[in-house]
Amino acid sequence: MPNSATDDPEYDLAVIGAGAAGLAGAVTAAELGLSVALLDTSAQPGGQFYRHPAPALGATRPEALHHDWSTFTGLRRRLADSSVTLLAGHHVWTVVRAETGGRWDVHAVTGADGDGERPVRVRARAVLLATGAYERQLPFPGWTLPGVVGAGGAQAMLKSGLVLPGNGVSPAGAKPRAGGRVSSAGATSRAGGRVVVAGSGPLLLAVAASLAKAGARVPAVVEASGYLGYARHPRTLAVNAHKMVEAAMHGTALLRHGVRLRTRSAVTQVHGSDRVEAVTVSRLDRDWRPVRGSGRRIVCDALAVGFGLVPQLELATGLGCTTRRAQDGSHVLDLDAQQETSVPGIWAAGETGGIGGAQLACVEGELAGLAIAARLGGRPAPAGSARARALGRRRDRMRAFASVMAAAHAPGAGWSRWLDDATDVCRCEEVSAGRIREAVTDFGARDARTVKLLTRAGMGWCQGRMCGAAVACLAAEGPGEALPPSPERRPLAVPVRLEVLAALTETAASESGDPEASAAREEGTGG
Which residues 243-302 are close enough to bind other proteins by CB under 8 A? 256-258, 274-275, 302
In eight-state DSSP terms, residue 44 is S
Q: Which is nearer to other proteins, 214 or 343 (CB)?
A: 214
Nearest to 440 by CA among 427, 421, 459: 421
Q: Which is nearer to other proteins, 253 or 400 (CB)?
A: 253
| Selected range binding other proteins among 72-80, 213-221, 365-373, 505-513, rule: CB under 8 A | 213-221
Q: Which is nearer to other proteins, 462 or 502 (CB)?
A: 462
Dmax over CA atoms of the chain, in Å, equals 72
Burial profile 176-213: b = 16 or more Cβ within 10 angstroms, e = fewer: eeeeeeeeeeeebbeeebbbbbbbbbbbbbbbbbbbbe
| Selected range binding other proteins among 119-127, 149-157, 289-297, 513-521, rule: CB under 8 A | 149-157
| Selected range binding other proteins among 160-168, 279-287, 445-453, 469-477, rule: CB under 8 A | 160-168
In angstroms, rounded to a whole number, what is the distance separating the alpha carbons of residues 136 and 150?
9
- Contact in structure between 44 and 54 (CB atoms under 8 Å): yes
Q: Which is nearer to other proteins, 57 or 517 (CB)?
A: 57
Indicate the pairing of strand 195-200 with strand 302-307: parallel
Residue 289: φ, ψ to 5°: -80, 130
| Selected range binding other proteins among 58-66, 99-107, 281-289, 484-492, rule: CB under 8 A | 58-66
Is residue 392 near other proteins by the rule CB under 8 A? no
Q: Which is nearer to other proteins, 333 or 466 (CB)?
A: 466
The correct pick among 164, 205, 279, 476 for binding other proteins (CB under 8 A) is 164
- Binding to other proteins in span 432-491, by CB under 8 A: 460-462, 465-466
CB of 200 to other proteins, least distance (A): 17
CA angle 55, 56, 60 (to 5 degrees): 60
The correct pick among 10, 32, 62, 69 for binding other proteins (CB under 8 A) is 62
CB of 467 to other proteins, least distance (A): 10
Q: Which is nearer to other proteins, 290 or 460 (CB)?
A: 460
- Contact in structure between 450 and 456 (CB atoms under 8 Å): no
CB of 66 to other proteins, least distance (A): 10
Is residue 215 near other proteins by the rule CB under 8 A? yes
Q: Which is nearer to other proteins, 11 or 134 (CB)?
A: 134
The correct pick among 48, 85, 280, 352 for binding other proteins (CB under 8 A) is 48
In angstroms, rounded to a whole number, what is the distance separating the alpha carbons of residues 147 and 8?
45
In angstroms, rounded to a whole number, what is the distance separating the alpha carbons of residues 421 and 433?
5
Q: Which is nearer to other proteins, 186 or 444 (CB)?
A: 186
- Binding to other proteins in span 64-83, by CB under 8 A: 64-65
In angstroms, rounded to a whole number, what is the distance separating the alpha carbons of residues 183 and 137?
36
Indicate the pairing of strand 148-150 with strand 195-200: unpaired
In angstroms, rounded to a whole number, what is the distance separating the alpha carbons of residues 161 and 174?
17
Helix, strand or coil, per DSSP, at residue 315? helix
Please give the single-letter amino acid code of residue 89: G
Return all residues near 136 (Cβ < 8 A) that are at least 6 apart.
306, 307, 308, 309, 310, 330, 411, 469
- Binding to other proteins in span 105-124, by CB under 8 A: 112-113, 115-116
Is residue 190 near other proteins by the rule CB under 8 A? yes
The correct pick among 165, 345, 356, 411 for binding other proteins (CB under 8 A) is 165
Return all residues near 245 (Cβ < 8 A) that are at least 6 apart.
none
In angstroms, rounded to a whole number, what is the distance separating the alpha carbons of residues 78 and 29?
11
CB of 116 to other proteins, least distance (A): 8
In angstroms, rounded to a whole number, what is the distance separating the alpha carbons of residues 487 and 466?
14
DSSP alpha helices (H): ranges in 232-286? 234-238, 241-256
The correct pick among 12, 40, 105, 135 for binding other proteins (CB under 8 A) is 135
CB of 316 to other proteins, least distance (A): 16
- Contact in structure between 334 and 348 (CB atoms under 8 Å): no
Applying CB under 8 A, what is the total number of residues that bind other proteins? 82
CB of 225 to other proteins, least distance (A): 22
- Binding to other proteins in span 325-354, by CB under 8 A: none
Is residue 46 near other proteins by the rule CB under 8 A? no
CB of 252 to other proteins, least distance (A): 14
CA atoms within 13 Å, Cβ hemisphere of 227: 12
Q: Which is nearer to other proteins, 403 or 455 (CB)?
A: 455
Q: Which is nearer to other proteins, 34 or 496 (CB)?
A: 496
CB of 110 to other proteins, least distance (A): 12
Is residue 162 near other proteins by the rule CB under 8 A? yes
